[in-house]
Structure 1
Amino acid sequence: MLPFKTLIKIDKSLKLPVYQQIANCLIGLIQEGILKPGLFLPGSRLLALQLELHRKTVIAAYEELISQDWLVAVPRKGVMVAANLPVIRPRSFRKTVSAYDGEAAFSFHTIPTVAIPAKPVFTHTPLVVNDGFPDARLAPLGAWVRECRSVIESPRYFKLLMYGSPTGNEALRREMQTYLGNTRGLSITADHVMITRGAQMAIYLAAAMIIKKDDYIIVGSPNYFFADLCFEQLGARLLHVPVDEEGIDVDAIEQLCASKKIKLLYLITHHHHPTTVTLSAARRMKLLAIIRKYNLPVIEDDYDYDFHYSSAPILPLASADHGGNVIYIGSFTKSLGLSIRIGFMIAPANFIAGAASLRRLMDLGGDNLSEQALANLLADGTIERHLKKSNKVYHERRDLLCDLLQSRLGDAVQFTVPTGGMAIWLRFSRKISLKKLSEKARAMGLQITSGEQYHYGTTSQNAIRFGFASLNNKEIAEVVGILEKLVR
């Protein structure tokens, strides 16, 4: 039997529940090739005895991994590692090294250092179905105002009024190191963190560091349209790979990597935009092997990781052994629900330094006031409490919307209940013109998209992202009522 007491490290001082720490460690052992597909794990009683924990804690960890498709429960035999995962050559039991140690394994543009001085859609329509935004009415506005006032009244605020670092506020970067370690399993330091004005800036900076004119990059089909526009503006040739119910087609990615020089892969592993699907565990494992084999630079856009309802989220690719090739991007704009543009980029330190030089060409420094206030809210637990509350509310709204759509619109629409996020990918019958539906809805006091941004070539998805998080229960019922009148 493997020395699980040595392999599974538990730190009860962390905010992350112990069962989740066990689950994350087991995922790491599978990804390292130490636990092979088809291998039966020790019984919950035996593992609990080895780890000196309560048996229910181990059972909870096993159930979590079963729900994420890493493990399979076999009647009368026990729990085994899912057989459909790729086989990986086992590695030694040495201490895990951060995937971000050392320099980036891929090439990127070198940006000249720029010397800087030492100092320095509104709408009148009552109801709006957006792309999937948070409810600003739930935002911790009082706490935000309090922290901003505290920063402004601080004796050191005059220093914050000067130009900040292009990598972002130092206090926030330190807090992000702890926050992302606890929530996403990232082993990083502040040198691996860059604070940006929203995730979109991070996407552009990362892509601009890597892409040259006529370079091939891989994106999903359909894909986040603002990312596509960004890559096209940089002169890239987009290779669209299908996205199905398990996420992006990893086999197709491998074929493209074998036949062409691919400079970048862009993907959304959780709650893909626009379809809301999550990349399966099996595909993640295979994709990590492809990334390491081809030294493939990857932008992992994880814009609303904090919102999961059915189970705890699968850890991002960035938390695994990717050889320093994954650039991880996220945003607090979705979490807070305020018009505060704070995003972040996680990458090897030398890539962050290069991206900071590029950012100086367009933005000499970050927003010290907002970033310091956010650092304080992370430190005192306000953000964690807000996310717990929001998750509960958005979960209820998702369930209500799904029930109403199914009972009142019937065959006119199709959808899969998303495991998280803030929108449903709502597909309409081909008999329904979304353009006409949108026009008629506006006349009835409802603004919805016509779905034109989801057209690819001559193919129309005839679908929209139905953002439910920003609508309360009464508003959701009103919206579905209007749609029912229009489609019936």
Structure 2
Amino acid sequence: MSSPILISLFGGIKLNPSSDRAIYLQLADMILALIKQGKLGSDQKLPSSRAVADLLSLNRLTVTKAYAELQMQGWLESFVGKGTFVSTHVPEIQPKQLKSTSTTKGQKQAGFALDSKSYRKNPFFVSTARLHLDHGYPDPTLAPLKELYRAYRTQLSCESRLYPRFGSYGQPDGADFYKEALSKYLNETRGLKTTHRNILSTRGTIMGINLVCSALIKPGDVVVSGIPGWQRLEHNFIHSWANHIGIPVDENGIVVDELRKICEKRKVRMVYITPHHHYPTTVSLSIDRRLELLALAKEFGFIIFEDDYDFDFHYNHRPLLPLISADDQGMVIYGGSFSKSISPAFRVGYLVAPENVIEHLSNTRMLLDRQGDHILDNAMAELLNDGTITRYLRKALAVYEKRRNHFCDLLRSELNNVVDFVVPEGGMTVWTTFDKSINLSELSTQAYEKNLYISDGLVHKYPDYDENAIRLGFASSTIEELSESVNILKSLIFKG
């Protein structure tokens, strides 16, 4: 290595043997940085691999692999008998002093424009608090995780079912074994009339909504839902450039009379509902309004998206069957998920619709996600077929009802003067309205400092709806944790 400039350049390379990144890749990164900075120009000959190895105290093979990596990327060219050169296709770059020459830190700002103003912010918060009165999550300690593990392991070893598809792609709408098991389960538990061709496997309700918006909603289409509602869902409408209109929700669910007024003036494309337990208020859509809604859909030709996120948890009496069970016109798309039954980390959901809709949604799904996890789907099918899910839900229902009763008793006895609520007939949360004197944002912050998570209520506020209310989830906490959580709230509210 005769050039003192090259000796200086390559001698300044610092490698980190304790890094997770291989040494030859680190070396390739450093050489690439020299090229991008203009310190190694187009068609410039590089030192031999032996010379670099001696200078940096490396194995020659390591340097050879680094050169080969950059050749594969098109940055270097190698000629037998001549050596290795910076590619002639690399433009001449005038060297300049960079603020940082480190290659270990990620970029903070893109070099291209982002139209972020066209999109709503979708913040998320992952709580690390020990206690939580969440938005309505199940208790994963009750879930049949051992059974799921065994079923998943069986799928991995059961070549008769998976082979030859195991080594290739499958159907975008889901594995037939899962869809057949799910069709049977939904027909038996919800009064549906489906075959496996009416089902599309998803990774949860939000994916199902996104698929429907992508495939069936055009810019300017009118989409209606209840207010207050689920803002993550509403942002999907906005993302599709739909015209979202909110209608009121009372003790009997969405006010269908208001929907009719809209339909008489404008062409409505889709109505989104959570009829079993409205999100976030937990009220059920009354039977007369269900029938009226189906009649309106038939009359005005709009889609009903029925999100039945917690059908399995109803305490006072048998739940009303889904709207889709009474739909003989093919107007309803039904969405469900096992994430709310077992765990949010368990991403298995589904859409139910007429066959031609499923085909259309499957075609759209190919652009987003070639297929779901067929192995997980089939493992879930095993639990549906052998009755594991039914037994688990029966056990969890009893536990959650006990927790609901205990939690509501605590709210009455400890916070009676500052909260108002109706004991929910089902679901996993209590829609709780706080006295106007209580600042929920401050209460949320103070509670988190005491290791308790509660919502600050901002996701439930709208320009024309400003109740001082939040969802307080009880299902994911033990009796002891619920008592401790309410005591913390009580100490913060009445500390004066």
Q: TM-score range by the shorter chain?
A: 0.7 to 0.9
CA distance in 1, matches of 2:383, 2:334: 22
Aligned length, in residue pairs: 368
The question of 1:155 aligning with 2:159 is answered: yes
Judged with a 3 Å threshold, the aligned counterparts in structure 2 of structure 1 residues 232 and 150 are, in CA distance, closer, same or farther, namely same
What residue number does 2:386 align with? 380
Are residues 1:389 and 2:390 paired?
Answer: no
Q: 1:179 aligns with which of 173, 180, 185?
A: 185
Query: Does residue 250 of the first structure (1) align with residue 256 of the second (2)?
Result: yes
- What residue identity is the alignment partner of 1:125? A
* Offset from partner CA, 1:266-320 (integer Å, 9 cap, x none): 1110111100000001111211211111122110110111111000010111000
Partner of 1:204: 210
* Partner amino acid, structure 2, of 1:431: S
1:307 aligns with 2:313: yes
Match of 2:146 among 126, 142, 149: 142
Residue 136 of structure 2: which of 132, 136, 140 is its match?
A: 132
Structure 2 residue identity aligned to 1:151: Q
Q: Which amino acid aligns with 1:261?
A: K
Counterpart residue type for residue 269 of structure 2: K
Q: Does 1:169 align with 2:193?
A: no
1:263 to 250, 260, 269: 269
Q: Distance between the aligned counterparts of 1:252 and 1:288, measured in 2?
A: 15
User: Could you tell me whether the CA contact under 8 Å between 1:210 and 1:264 is conserved in 2?
Assistant: no
- Displacement after TM superposition at 1:149 (Å): 1.1
Structure 2 equivalent of residue 290 of structure 1: 296
In 2, the alpha carbon distance for the partners of 1:255 and 1:185 equals 31
- In the alignment, which of 233, 238, 243 is matched to residue 237 of structure 1? 243
For residue 200 of structure 1, report the CA deviation from its aligned partner: 0.9
Aligned residue runs from structure 1 range 262-411, under 5 A? 262-337=268-343, 339-411=345-417
Tell me the distance in 1 between the aligned counterparts of 2:349 and 2:452.
Answer: 31
Gaps of 5+ in 1: 1-120
CA distance in 2 between counterparts of 1:482 and 1:198 reads: 33
CA positional deviation for 1:161: 4.3
- Alpha-carbon contact 1:267-1:299 (below 8 Å) kept: yes
Given that 1:161 and 1:368 are in contact with CA atoms closer than 8 Å, whether structure 2 keeps it comes out as: no
1:299 aligned counterpart, secondary structure: strand
- How far 1:451 sits from its partner (Å)? 0.6
Partner Cα separation in structure 1 for residue 197 and residue 432 of structure 2 = 41
1:361 alignment partner, SS class: helix
2:419 matched to which residue of 1? 413
- In 2: Cα distance, 1:405 partner to 1:163 partner: 52
> Does the CA contact (< 8 Å) of 1:220 and 1:248 recur in 2?
yes
1:145 maps to a residue whose letter is Y
Measure how far apart 1:338 and its partner are. Answer: 5.7
- Percent of residue pairs bearing the same amino acid type: 40
Question: Shift of residue 322 of structure 1?
Answer: 4.5
Name the TM-score, length of structure 2 as normaliser: 0.73
> Which whole-Å deviations, capped at 9, do the CAs of 1:168-216 have from their partners, x for residues lacking one?
1110100111111111100111111111011111111112222111211
Per-residue deviation, 1:227: 0.8
Q: Name 2:78's counterpart in structure 1.
A: none
Q: CA deviation at 1:438?
A: 0.8
Q: Give the deviation of 1:122 after TM superposition.
A: 4.2
Measure the CA separation in 2 of the matches of 1:302 and 1:185: 14
Give unmatched runs, 5+ long, in structure 2: 1-124
SS state at 2:381 partner: helix
- In structure 1, what is the equivalent of residue 99 of structure 2? none
Letter in 1 for 2:395: K
Once the two structures are TM-superposed, the CA of residue 224 in structure 1 deviates from its matched residue by: 1.2
Shift of 1:461: 2.1
Question: What's the CA shift string for 1:125-152, capped at 9, x where partnerless?
Answer: 2112211010011111110111111111
Three-state SS of the structure 2 residue aligned to 1:266 is strand
User: For residues 354 and 128 of structure 2, what CA distance do their matches in structure 1 show?
Assistant: 45
Distance in 1 (CA, whole Å) between partners of 2:477 and 2:414 is 18
Distance 1:400 1:188 in 2: 39
**Where does 1:118-129 land on structure 2 (aligned, <5 Å)?**
122-129=126-133
Question: What are the within-5 Å matches in structure 2 for residues 53-132 of structure 1?
Answer: 122-132=126-136
CA offsets 1:204-249 (integer angstroms, 9 cap, x no match): 1112222111211111001111110111111011111000100000
1:1-80 matches, cutoff 5 A: none
Q: CA deviation at 1:425?
A: 0.6
> Which has the larger displacement, 284-293 or 167-176?
284-293
Give the letter for the 1:309 counterpart.
Y
Q: 1:86-134, CA deviations, whole angstroms, 9 ceiling, x for partnerless residues?
A: xxxxxxxxxxxxxxxxxxxxxxxxxxxxxxxxxxx54332112211010
Which position in structure 2 is the counterpart of 1:474? 480
